[in-house]
Structure 1
Amino acid sequence: MARPMGPVRLKRTNPVTLVLGAALCIFILYFVIGSSAPDFSPSRKATAASHHLSPPTSPFRKPASGSKPKPPPVAHYNLNNVTITPNPLENRENILILTPMARFYQEYWDNLLKLSYPHELITLGFILPKTKEGNLATTQLQKQIAKTQKTGPEKDRFKSIIILRQDFDPPLASQDESERHKMQNQKVRRAAMAKARNSLLFSTLGPSTSWVLWLDADVVETPPTLIQDLAKHDKPVIAPNCFQRFYNPETKAMDERPYDYNNWQDSPTAQEMAQHMDPDDILLEGYAEMATYRALMAKMAKPDGLLHEEVPLDGVGGAALLVKADVHRDGAMFPPFAFYHLIETEGFAKMAKRLGWQPVGLPNYKVYHYNE
């Protein structure tokens, strides 16, 4: 016969266990609710953008609950007050230097630091590809930026620096000079370059920018007064002549030779060739297979010529190019497609001319390209 059970006694819970359980519950609730709610703490609000058009581009944050909300900021810019004059230094005009970069050259950066235009008026903009080589160039660039902006002399520090990474793959696996300049690679290569230039331009051109200086990453030597020298011509688009220094084995001494053949004056032969091309075909300069007989500024340099002699141009290169910001604001960009059978910088020159802006070149004013 079964014996009746006595009353059941529950084991008394340890108070420490209850405290730990309650603390755990509170932590879980805080984590779930706190992670989804906006953070309006003073430290967090300090990183929010004080102005919606100024970096860093953090979101504009509403004030904490309970306080009276303020409207988001409204910026007013009168572009009529932005001067673009032959005396940018005297008028304290803002310069935007833009550089598409696949490789980093220390000589390029050293030359930038030598520019005599006040660095507090210069904004630098870079765009680099998302490749192994582009990653290396970005690392090297950021190292020099940190050195200049954080520990370098005050006079060397720039107003601001913007780095973009391309959101498309480069068409060429190699950036070697021999590979870049093969004729069969030119259309896809220059279309990609045009896209990179446009991305860089549209992301960095600000309402206070007066001049845009396009300077290739492999241009390693320019006069320190490059910006002032080009601006004083007061031309909407102006290009110096790009040469390259090299050791001449015939003379056994250092010499120089023309490099950029994209600064040119059009010819009847080139115009005739264009009339018989398909709409998507482009004319290229500097190739024997496509003799255009254009007048090349690279061949116009004279040892005894006037330094600031001007010649009108129908096509321009991008090695070094000073552009009034109003030309870009009017819509002149770098076509990544055949535009009157021209592409990239040469297409830009054509577009500028169609908008009423005449490009000009300086045959005897030289900048120098890196010699690989």
Structure 2
Amino acid sequence: MAVRPKGATSARSACPSVLVLTPVKDAAPHLDRYLDLLDRLDWPKSRLSIGLLEGDSVDGTWDKLQELKPGLSARARRLSLFKRDYGFKIPAGVHRWTPQIQLLRRQILARARNQLLFRSLRDEEWVLWLDVDLVDYPPDVLRRLMATGFEIVHPHCVTRPGGPTFDQNGWREHGSKMLCDLRESDAVRLDAVGGTMLLVKADLHRDGLIFPPFLYGRSNPRIRPQHPLWGQGEIETEGLGIMAQDMNAQCWGLPNLEILHANS
């Protein structure tokens, strides 16, 4: 017998109100495509709000957002643009995935996500976290995520169809299984989530679900082994996944619903 998940949308309106949230940094080359994808998203303008927070960019991202503001406003019932700098710069010649900077980088990203959430969320029923550097996703992706009825769910982010998982922050079994390892199922339980595209029931955020800007869940048996550089616990999106389960909310992933991310 199928288990009916909490938060199923059948009792809700056919198009619940959704807040799309995107933190951005040095994202000027991606913003036109970001707007193009939002324009073709199969969700009515009257039920869609958009919020972006820019910080610490050196490539004119904030100016580009002002240029695109009319188009973004035309796509949503409400648009919120914020700027908050954290003074975090990746040293020259250091790649953003370098292990030694990951704890600080993820702390800043978590803080930016939380600032954006707290300053943007009003009456919306759902929050869709969306990376600015996605290059393609199905126009009906939001409807397909909603149709699962899950309170926290994300698609499978790859850089090419059928390829390995790009967003490796979504995992289970202590990080040993990602969505590319679980393609035999259409929906799988996850212990941690990624943030490239993540749908969250807004009331979970209102109840206290955040992106921890600190190592969270040291006593939770689902976290990964202690990291050699920063110790034990999960941060940012992985921390949100562990926190959600501490709040009795289950995270899910859809291995066969793919979205495409830019190579980086």
Q: Which residue of 1 aligns with 2:178?
A: 296
Q: Which residue of 2 aligns with 1:118?
A: 44
C-alpha deviations, 1:54-99, integer Å up to 9, x for none? xxxxxxxxxxxxxxxxxxxxxxxxxxxxxx6525994442100000
Structure 2 Cα separation of the partners of residues 100 and 346 of structure 1: 17
Between the two proteins, the alignment pairs up a number of residues equal to 240
Deviation at 1:298, TM superposition (A): 3.0
Q: Which residue of 2 aligns with 1:258?
A: 165
Q: Where does 1:304-315 land on structure 2 (aligned, <5 Å)?
A: 309-315=186-192
Find the partner of 2:79 among 117, 140, 161: 161
Deviation at 1:112, TM superposition (A): 1.0
Q: Which residue of 1 aligns with 2:97?
A: 181
**Maintained 8 Å contact 2:35/2:71:** no
C-alpha deviations, 1:22-69, integer Å up to 9, x for none? xxxxxxxxxxxxxxxxxxxxxxxxxxxxxxxxxxxxxxxxxxxxxxxx
In structure 2, what residue type is equivalent to 1:333? I
Matched, 1:205 2:88: no
TM-score normalised over the length of structure 2: 0.84
In structure 1, what residue type is equivalent to 2:147? K
In structure 1, what residue type is equivalent to 2:47? L
Deviation at 1:171, TM superposition (A): 4.3
TM-score normalised over the length of structure 1: 0.60
Matched, 1:368 2:251: no
Q: Which residue of 2 aligns with 1:93?
A: 16
C-alpha deviations, 1:176-209, integer Å up to 9, x for none? 9x71111111100000000000000111111x21
Q: Which residue of 2 aligns with 1:334?
A: 211
**Maintained 8 Å contact 1:87/1:228:** no
- The RMSD of aligned alpha carbons is 2.2
Deviation at 1:255, TM superposition (A): 7.6
Structure 2 Cα separation of the partners of residues 234 and 315 of structure 1: 18
Deviation at 1:236, TM superposition (A): 1.1
**Maintained 8 Å contact 2:165/2:178:** no
**Maintained 8 Å contact 1:94/1:122:** yes
Q: Which residue of 2 aligns with 1:141?
A: 65
**Maintained 8 Å contact 1:263/1:298:** no
**Maintained 8 Å contact 2:192/2:237:** yes
**Maintained 8 Å contact 2:182/2:188:** no
Q: Which residue of 1 aligns with 2:57?
A: 131
Structure 2 Cα separation of the partners of residues 361 and 157 of structure 1: 27
Structure 1 Cα separation of the partners of residues 97 and 257 of structure 2: 24
**Maintained 8 Å contact 2:15/2:43:** no
**Maintained 8 Å contact 1:171/1:189:** no
Deviation at 1:130, TM superposition (A): 3.6
Q: SS at the partner of 2:43?
A: coil
Q: Where does 1:219-234 land on structure 2 (aligned, <5 Å)?
A: 219-234=134-149
Q: Structure 1: where are the runs of 5+ without partners? A: 1-83, 150-155, 246-253, 268-291
Q: SS at the partner of 2:195?
A: coil
Percent identical pairs in the alignment equals 32
Q: SS at the partner of 2:241?
A: helix
Q: Which residue of 2 aligns with 1:325?
A: 202
Which structure is higher in RCO with an 8 Å CA cutoff and minimum separation 6? 2
In structure 2, what residue type is equivalent to 1:215? L
Larger Rg belongs to: 1
